Chain A
Amino acid sequence: MSANTMESEAIAARGLVREFGAVRAVDGIDLSVRRGEIYGFLGPNGAGKTTVIRMLVTLLAPTAGSITVAGFNAVTQPDQVRLRIGAALQAAALDDKQTGRELLNLQGRLYGLKGREIAARVADLTDLIDIGDAMGRLIGTYSGGMKRRLDLAAALIHQPEILFLDEPTTGLDPISRSRIFEEVAKINSELEMTIFLTTQYLEEADALAHRVGIIDRGRLVAQGTPEELKHSRGSDLIIVHLDAPVTPEVAAALEALSSVDFVDAHDSELTVSTGNGAALVSGVALKLNELGVGVRELTLRTPTLDDVFLQVTGSRLRREESEGDPEDQGQG
């Protein structure tokens, strides 16, 4: 790797492996996150996202492989890494018995900031997270959204070079979710802070992330800009939900239609990729009718990250299942 590449990389992982006993939770991942970019890290339940993020933030040692964060080796120079990163991990990790201001003050002290530096940062972050008067209240009285925003502020108190966010919006209502993502976008654009983010909300990763990586069963199965990944699915998709599971014969019959790029079948869902969906949609409907297959729903649309996700992992991301998965808590 060239010196220029290393300098431009905020996070670099090579051959990253983490085993928990006989279980290989992370299986040879290579990651490269450039300085100043927002990198969305996606994966189904138990895929190893949290294990990866815990290794990157020095909470967990890899079984094999190397990790460089902000130019320092995360295994042999964890203290240097810790000075340069901020992290808000799964579920707001706060102390309900402190006030918001006390928590931020403590964070500032632990990062070696002086009194006036802490005061300035707390004032700035109070504006950022829009908590206002509640900063003087015990955190135990905060709503879920307020806790998440305070968690974000705590991760930012020392103006880190790299911010790690592990599912920062899980369990939040749509308005709180949207506010968190707005704040993340502002932090990135104003401070040029590198942001490594895992999320279950693909549409938000699509809108926010400069590049996306998809992990499945401990392996990185796709990586690129959202546009590149979606483009890999073709320009149009015809999604068909059948009454019964898709048979190989039905898939083969559709694949034989002219102008079909490829057909994916998962349970009772068929995805037909084509360069011109409007021209093909009636042909698909007629062929299914001819085969005597019952159709529940047929839609034509452009690809989304969820379609990419389906293609590379074999299932769509189900948000409700991802919450509270013990295997994805970094324990295995």
Chain B
Amino acid sequence: MALASSTREITIRARKAGFFRDIFAVARRAVRSMLRDLETVIPALFIPVFMFVVTVGALQDFAENIPGLDYRAFQLPVAVLFAVTGVSRAITVVTDIQSGYFDRLVITPVNRVALLLGLMMADFVLIIALTIPVVIMGFIVGVYFVTGVLGILAFMLIAGLWGLIFNGFPYAIAFKTGNVAAVNLSFLLFFPFLFLTTLFIPQEQMTPWMSMAADYNPVTYILAAERSLITEGWQLTTIRNGVVATLGVGVVSLGLALAALRGRATRK
């Protein structure tokens, strides 16, 4: 038997791979698995295009009665957030937990945090990829970025950051429950975040209660930052507010995800 033949010439010694190597190893597996599951990406492409076409088709003439409003430019950030919100590998985490593969990973000396960050790194790759067709759709319907190429990149990155931060919620539920149905419930968060905001019309046109709800919704500030990149130029305060709002949600979502991961990995 060859069990020990060639490795006898090399001394095999297990050691900690290191934080970043762990992240890349986990991310590599997730990206590979994502490429084998491309059909799961179809809704993330279809829904934003459908929403954009329907909303613009229904409301453009009405909304553009508001002086200075380019409704297609106003709706493009909405489309991009629809594309990137909730695109995660949380279901894979559940599958790993249920199959016992998660235990196999946890028995290795892998850094526990890398088990989450590796997946999120893979998510980020997909999320950024999903922003590209939305931006192209914008070009096709005549949306023009006054901030140019850099503005387009910033537009994609802010959307990507939001998508990544939001994913903390489904990961938290996946690690905590190990249950697919529970993870799917995280989709419920999608509605208050994306509908109690300046989704269809500017905040000034909203009813007072809806405007107040939008004030407290971080997505309002993200949409404002994204819209400013298209129509207003480099409004640093607006962009900063959008990023800070995203990071604020991240403190909560990633905090929950890391706590749930710690609970799952230590099994006290």
- A residues with a Cβ closer than 8 A to B are 54, 57-61, 79, 82-85, 87, 89-91, 93-98, 102, 106-107, 109-113, 116-117, 120-121, 123-125, 127-128, 138, 154, 158-160, 186-187, 190-191
Q: Which residues of A contact B42 (CB under 8 A)?
A: none
Can you pick out 9 interface pairs between chain A and chain B where the beta carbons lie within 8 Å of each other? A54-B267, A57-B107, A83-B15, A110-B22, A124-B6, A127-B2, A159-B12, A159-B14, A190-B4
Write the nearest CB–CB distance from B148 to chain A, whole angstroms. 40
In the bound assembly, the distance between CA atoms of A74 and B5 in angstroms comes to: 31
The answer to whether B33 and A191 have CB atoms under 8 Å apart is: no
**Complex: chain A residue closest to B37, CB-CB:** A97
B110 at the binding interface (Cβ < 8 Å): yes
Q: How far is the CB of B62 from chain A (nearest CB, A)?
A: 47
Return chain B residues, CB-CB under 8 Å to A125: 3
User: Roughly how many angstroms separate A250 CA and B76 CA in the complex, as a whole number?
Assistant: 88
Q: Are A90 and B109 in contact (CB under 8 A)?
A: no
**Does A111 lie within 8 Å of B268, measured CB to CB?**
no
Contacts A60-B267, A82-B108 aside, 20 further interface pairs with beta carbons under 8 A come to: A57-B107, A59-B106, A82-B109, A83-B109, A89-B100, A89-B103, A93-B99, A102-B32, A111-B15, A111-B17, A116-B10, A117-B10, A120-B7, A120-B10, A127-B1, A128-B1, A138-B36, A158-B14, A159-B14, A191-B4
Which residues of B in the span 26-81 have a Cβ within 8 Å of any Cβ on A?
28-29, 32-33, 36-37
Question: B215 contacts the other chain (Cβ, under 8 Å)?
Answer: no
Nearest A residue (CB) for B28: A106
Q: How far is the CA of A190 from the CA of B8 in the complex (A)?
A: 11
B interface, over-half SS: loop
- Return the contact of A128 from the options B3, B106, B266 (Cβ within 8 A): B3
A94 to B95, CA, bound (A): 10
Using CB atoms, name the residue of chain B closest to A161. Answer: B14
Contact of A95 among B3, B99, B109 (CB under 8 A): B99
CA A120 to CA B6, docked complex, whole Å: 6
Cross-chain contact A97 with B15 (CB below 8 angstroms): no
Asked if B107 contacts A59 (CB within 8 A), the reply is: yes
Would you call B152 an interface residue if the criterion is a C-beta within 8 Å of the partner chain's C-beta atoms? no
Report A151 CB to chain B, min CB distance, Å.
8
Q: Would you call B12 and A121 a contact (CB within 8 A)?
A: yes
Do the beta carbons of B16 and A112 come within 8 Å of each other? Answer: yes
Is the CB of B25 closer than 8 A to any CB of chain A? Answer: yes
Which A residues lie within 8 Å of B243 (CB)?
Answer: none
B240 within 8 Å of A (CB atoms)? no
Contact of B3 among A58, A82, A190 (CB under 8 A): A190
- Residues of chain B with a CB closer than 8 A to A113's CB: 12, 14
Cβ contact within 8 Å between B18 and A112 = yes
**A124 x B5 contact (CB < 8 A):** yes
What's the minimum C-beta distance from A259 to chain B, rounded to whole angstroms? Answer: 48
Contact (A123, B109) CB under 8 Å given A60-B267, A90-B100: no
A-B contact count (CB 8 A): 125
Interface residues on B, range: 35 or more
Binding site for A on B (CB under 8 A): 1-7, 9-10, 12-18, 21-22, 25, 28-29, 32-33, 36-37, 96, 99-101, 103-110, 266-268
- Across the interface, do B7 and A61 meet the contact criterion of CB distance under 8 Å? no
Check A112–B103 contact: CB distance below 8 A: no
State in angstroms the CA–CA spacing of A154 and B100 once bound together. Answer: 13
Residues of B with C-beta under 8 A to A54:
267
Question: Shortest beta-carbon distance, A155 to chain B, in Å?
Answer: 8
Interchain CB contact under 8 A, B17 and A109: yes
In the bound complex, residues from chain A placing their C-beta under 8 Å from that of B13 are: 158
Q: Is the CB of B4 within 8 A of A106?
A: no
B226 to chain A, nearest CB (A): 34
The docked-state distance in angstroms from the alpha carbon of A90 to that of B96 is 14
Contacts of A160 in B (CB 8 A): 14
Partner of A82, one of B6, B99, B107: B107
Q: Tell me whether A110 and B108 are in contact (CB under 8 A).
A: yes
Q: Chain B contacts of A158 at CB under 8 A?
A: 12-14
**What's the least CB distance linking B180 to chain A, in Å?**
16
Q: Is the CB of A124 within 8 A of B4?
A: yes
Closest beta carbon of chain A to B162's beta carbon, Å: 27
Task: Evaluate contact between A110 and B109: CB separation under 8 angstroms.
Answer: yes
- Min Cβ gap A190→B in Å is 5
Task: Give complex CA distance A110, B7 in Å.
Answer: 18
* Given A79-B109, A94-B101, residue A128 in contact with residue B2 (CB < 8 A): yes
Cα(A107)–Cα(B29), bound, Å: 11
Residue in B6, B36, B108 whose CB lies within 8 Å of A107: B108
For B104, give its contact among A60, A83, A116, A154 (CB under 8 Å).
A154
Interface-central residue, A57, A95, A128, by most chain B CB under 10 Å? A95
The winner among A96, A98, A110 for most chain B CB atoms within 10 A is A110
On whether A102 and B29 interact (CB within 8 A), knowing A61-B266, A95-B99, A111-B17, the answer reads: yes
Which of A89, A112, A116 is B109 in contact with, Cβ under 8 Å?
Answer: A112
Q: A87 to B108, alpha carbons, bound, how many Å? A: 9
Contacts of B107 in A (CB 8 A): 57-59, 82, 85, 87
Q: Which residue of A lies closest to B36 (CB)?
A: A97
List the 10 closest A-B pairs by CB distance, nearest first: A93-B100, A158-B14, A127-B2, A112-B15, A112-B17, A110-B108, A109-B25, A111-B14, A159-B12, A83-B14
Please indicate the chain B residues that have their CB under 8 angstroms from the CB of A116 in the complex.
Answer: 10
Q: Complex Cα distance A235/B13, Å?
A: 47
- For the complex, give the distance between the alpha carbons of A119 and B10 in Å: 11
